[in-house]
Structure 1
Amino acid sequence: MKRNLLAIAIPALLVAAGANASIEVWNKDGNKVDFYGRVKAANNITDRGQKDEGDDTSARLGMSGQTQITDSLVGYGRWEYEAKAGKNSDNEVRYAFAGLNFGDLGSFDYGRNDGVLKAITAYTDVLPQFGGDAANNEWNVLSSRTKAVATYRNNNFFGLTDDVSFALQYADNGDNSSTVDSHRGGSREAYGANAQWRIFDTGLTAGAGYAQTTVSETRHNTWAAGLKYENYDLYLGANYFQSKLKVDNNYDYKLRGFELVAQYGIDLEVGRLTPSLAYVQHKLKDYGHDRVGFNSPLAKYVSLGATYDLNKNFSTIIEYKFNLLDNDDIGAWKNTERPRVGSKHPSKPGTKDVLGVGLIYQF
C-alpha cells in the first residue's frame, strides 16, 4: 500500500479506537459505516462506605464512519454513548466528533474527544477493571475525554516516517480538569500537544505531552512522559506526570505520579489468558499562603488481575487492588463515601482492598 494511502487509512482506524470488533453496515462508493458496542457486567467488592463499591454494570454503543471526498481527502466521524446500570446510573456521550483527513498533511477534527495527554496516560490505562488514575484525574489538564476540542494529528510526520506522530489541541472551555473550577469557576480555554516515537523495530514507543489552562490569576499545567513495550505476548507500560496549580499566589499545588504495568498473554486451547500486574502512586503537595501545607498520597496501590478472552467477542475479568493508603492520607479522604446523616452505614476511610470481577460482551 502506498504511503499516502496509509496516511488516510490510519486516522480512519483511530475513529474506531476502543472497539475490538465491529459490524460493518455500509461500504459502498467510498462511504463506510461501522457499529460497535459493549456490555460490561461487573461488581467491585469492598467495604461499604468506599467509593466505587458495588455494581459497575454499563453498556456502550458507538458508530464510526468515513467518506472518500477526493483521492487525498477523507471525511470521518465518531459517536459513542454509554449507559450505566449500576448504583450510579449516570449516562454519558463519550465521543462525538467529526473531521477531515488530508493524507500526509494530517487530520483535523472538532467535538467531544480525548484530551491530547490521553495518548500518553493510556500507556498504563490497560488494567482489567481498575486503573486509569492518571487519565481520569481532575488535577490533570486535557488528560481525559473532554468537550469542545479542536485537534490536529499527523501520524506519519508528513509522509516522512510512520514511526513519528504528533498532535496539537485547543479546547474552548473543554478542559477535563475540575480543580480550577473549585477555586475560581468560569470558563476555561486550554491547549496542549503530544509527540510519540515508535523506536525502530524494537517494540518500544516513547511519548511525551504538555497541556495548560489559565483562568484569571489561576495557572494550571500538566506534562506527562511515558514508555511502552509491546509484542504479541508481552506488554510493559510506564508513565510519569506532573501537574501544577497556582491560585492568586496564595496556594501552590503540585501533583506528581507514576504508574507501572506488566502483562503477559498466554494462548490456551480455548481463548487467551492475560495476567496483569501494576503499581500506581500519585502524591499531592500543597503549600498555602502561610507556606504550611501537606504532602500526601492521592492514590497508592498494587493491582493483580487477569483477563480471559474466550474469543474476540467475550471476556471475563478479575482484579484485586491492594490499597496502600493510610487513614490520614488525602487519597483515603477522597475515596470515602459520606452518606447522609442517619444513614445505616457510617463513613469509613477509603483504605480497603477491592476485588473487581466482571463479564464483557463486545462487538
Structure 2
Amino acid sequence: MINRKSLAILFPLLLSSSVSSINAKEIYNENGQTINLYGNVNPLYFYSYTSNPFAFHSIGNYTNLKIGIVSKSYINKFISGYMHVEYNPKFSSSYNENISNSFNKNNINLSYVGLDFGKWGSIDYGRNYGITYYSKQFTNKFFDNTESIIFHKDDNFLLGRTDDVLTYKNKNFSGYLDGFDLVLQHHNYCRNDKSNIKKIYNDSWGAALQYNSIYGFKIIGSTEISPYNEQNHLNKACDFVKSYALGCYYSFKNSMVSGFYCHSKNIERNFQKYDKKYKILDSIEVSGNYDFRNGFKASMGYIKSFGKAITNGDYHKISKSDTLNNHLNFILTYNFNKNFVLNIHYKYSLFKNNKYFSEKKNYFDDVNNSIGTGIMYIF
C-alpha cells in the first residue's frame, strides 16, 4: 500500500482529480528516489436515441487506457527533482473523432520534468496542463467526450494539455500569504511551416491565482494572452489571442459543487460547428456530486456555451451568438471495490428548440439524448 510519505510527494504533482491518480502505487523507494505508478482501463460505449423509440444510434467507442508514472528524487536539503509521464493511447474510434478533436492525435497526456525548491516553489518544463485547466479542473470530469465541447481540448494554446510549457508554481506565496497559490506559464511552441520551410513560434503567457479556504471553498482565476493568431502567425493587427476563466469549488460532508466560466477570443483555432468558424467563445459549467457512502456516487453537470462567428471572411462582421452546447449530464458510479467501478452516463439535450436541430443532421449526437455505459478497472 502507498504510505503517507508517498502521498505527500504525489498529490502536489498531480493536477487531475481522477480516481486512478489517487490509487497510485509506490513501486520504488530507495536512496531518496520514489516512483509511483497509476492507471486505469475504461471500456465505454455511447448510444443516442433515434426517431424510432425502439432503436439506438451508435455514437462510438470511447474505451481508453491510461498509465502514469510520477517520480521524485532528493538532490539536497533545498532542492529535489521530479517528473510525471502519462500515456493515453487512442486505440478506439468514435463518431465525432473528426469533428471535435481532429488535430489532436497525441498519445502522451503529460510528460514533464522539474525542480522543487520547497517553500520557494517549483518549476518544470514539458507537456503539461495549460493555465486554463486550473480553472476548469473541477467541472472537467462531469462532461463526456461525445461531442465538441469548447475549452475541453488539448494542444490549443494554454487551454488543456499542451507541449513546450514552462510552469512555475508557488504555494502560500512562500509562506507569506497562507491560502493563496500562484501559477505562471510560458508556452513556447515551434513548428515548421510546410509552405516555405521556416520555423514559426507561438509565444503564449498565462497566470493563475488560487485561494483555498479552510472551510472547503476554492476559487481560481486564470488568464492567458498570445500575440500570435490561430495560424501561429504574428498578429500585426494586435487582435491577440486571449482568455479569462474563473473556477470555484465547495465541498461539505459527502457533497460537492463546482462551477466554471470562460471567455476567449481567437483561442479555439477557428472552432467549427454548424459549418461556421467561431472566434469569440463563452461557456459556463456547473456540476455537483453526492457520495452515498455505500459505493454509489451520483453526479450532475450543466453546460451552456455560445459562439460568435466571422461572416464572409470579414473580421469586423461578427454574427449573433449561436448556442454550441446546451445539455445536462448525469453520471452514476458504483464501486464494487477499490479496483472496479461501474459507470453510467446519461446526457439530456436541451437543444430541442434550437434552430439547428432540424437542419444539421450531421451533428446528430449533439442534439439528442445519449447514454453510455462502462466498467473501469483501476490499478
What TM-score range do you get, normalising by the shorter chain?
0.7 to 0.9
SS of structure 1 residue aligned to 2:163:
strand
Query: Could you tell me whether the CA contact under 8 Å between 1:62 and 1:78 is conserved in 2?
Result: yes
Deviates more, 1:134-143 or 1:24-33: 134-143
**Which of 285, 298, 305 pairs up with 2:331?**
305
CA shift at 1:314, angstroms?
1.7
**Which of 345, 354, 357 pairs up with 2:370?**
354
Flag the 1:29–1:252 CA change in 2: closer, same or farther, 3 A: closer
**Which of 66, 79, 86 pairs up with 2:85?**
79
Flag the 1:66–1:252 CA change in 2: closer, same or farther, 3 A: closer
Flag the 1:203–1:51 CA change in 2: closer, same or farther, 3 A: farther
Find the aligned partners of 1:52 and 1:68 in 2 and give their Cα distance: 50
SS of structure 2 residue aligned to 1:240:
strand
Query: Could you tell me whether the CA contact under 8 Å between 1:25 and 1:35 is conserved in 2?
Result: yes
Q: Quick check: 1:56 aligned with 2:77?
A: no
Find the aligned partners of 2:58 and 2:13 in 1 and give their Cα distance: 30
Query: Could you tell me whether the CA contact under 8 Å between 2:308 and 2:318 is conserved in 1?
Result: no
Query: Could you tell me whether the CA contact under 8 Å between 2:143 and 2:301 is conserved in 1?
Result: no
Which residue of the partner structure matches residue 195 of structure 2?
none
Q: Which amino acid aligns with 2:174?
A: F
Flag the 1:139–1:58 CA change in 2: closer, same or farther, 3 A: closer
Q: Which amino acid aligns with 2:11?
A: L
Deviates more, 1:64-73 or 1:252-261: 252-261
Identity %: 23
Query: Could you tell me whether the CA contact under 8 Å between 1:232 and 1:265 is conserved in 2?
Result: no
Deviates more, 1:8-17 or 1:85-94: 8-17
Structure 1 spans left out of the alignment, 5+ residues: 1-5, 176-184, 338-347
Which residue of the partner structure matches residue 192 of structure 1?
206
Q: Which amino acid aligns with 2:68?
A: G
Flag the 1:109–1:139 CA change in 2: closer, same or farther, 3 A: closer
* Correspondences of 1:47-126 after superposition (within 5 Å): 53-87=59-93, 92-126=107-141
Structure 2 spans left out of the alignment, 5+ residues: 51-55, 98-104, 192-198, 229-233, 270-276
Between 1 and 2, higher relative CO (CA 8 Å, sep ≥ 6) is seen in: 1
**Which of 34, 37, 40 pairs up with 2:36?**
34
Find the aligned partners of 1:119 and 1:36 in 2 and give their Cα distance: 21
CA shift at 1:36, angstroms?
1.2
* Correspondences of 1:154-165 after superposition (within 5 Å): 154-165=170-181
Which residue of the partner structure matches residue 286 of structure 1?
309
**Which of 5, 12, 15 pairs up with 1:14?**
12
Query: Could you tell me whether the CA contact under 8 Å between 1:127 and 1:276 is conserved in 2?
Result: yes
CA shift at 1:284, angstroms?
0.3
SS of structure 2 residue aligned to 1:70:
coil
Q: Which amino acid aligns with 2:188?
A: D
Flag the 1:284–1:11 CA change in 2: closer, same or farther, 3 A: farther
Find the aligned partners of 1:147 and 1:273 in 2 and give their Cα distance: 37
Which residue of the partner structure matches residue 145 of structure 1?
161
Find the aligned partners of 2:317 and 2:143 in 1 and give their Cα distance: 41
Query: Could you tell me whether the CA contact under 8 Å between 2:48 and 2:369 is conserved in 1?
Result: yes
Which residue of the partner structure matches residue 46 of structure 1?
48
CA shift at 1:210, angstroms?
0.1
Find the aligned partners of 1:302 and 1:134 in 2 and give their Cα distance: 15
Q: Quick check: 1:274 aligned with 2:297?
A: yes
> If the length of structure 2 is used for normalisation, what is the TM-score?
0.77
CA shift at 1:219, angstroms?
1.8
CA shift at 1:350, angstroms?
3.4
Flag the 1:186–1:91 CA change in 2: closer, same or farther, 3 A: closer
1:243-275 per-residue CA deviation (whole Å, 9 max, x = no partner) reads: 01299xxx993211110001110111xxx2111
Find the aligned partners of 1:140 and 1:134 in 2 and give their Cα distance: 11
CA shift at 1:139, angstroms?
11
**Which of 295, 317, 340 pairs up with 1:314?**
340
Find the aligned partners of 2:224 and 2:318 in 1 and give their Cα distance: 28
> If the length of structure 1 is used for normalisation, what is the TM-score?
0.80
Find the aligned partners of 2:143 and 2:279 in 1 and give their Cα distance: 31
Task: Give the length in aligned residue pairs.
Answer: 328
* Correspondences of 1:233-248 after superposition (within 5 Å): 233-245=254-266
CA shift at 1:305, angstroms?
2.1
* Correspondences of 1:245-256 after superposition (within 5 Å): 245=266, 253-256=279-282
CA shift at 1:202, angstroms?
1.8
Query: Could you tell me whether the CA contact under 8 Å between 1:122 and 1:135 is conserved in 2?
Result: no
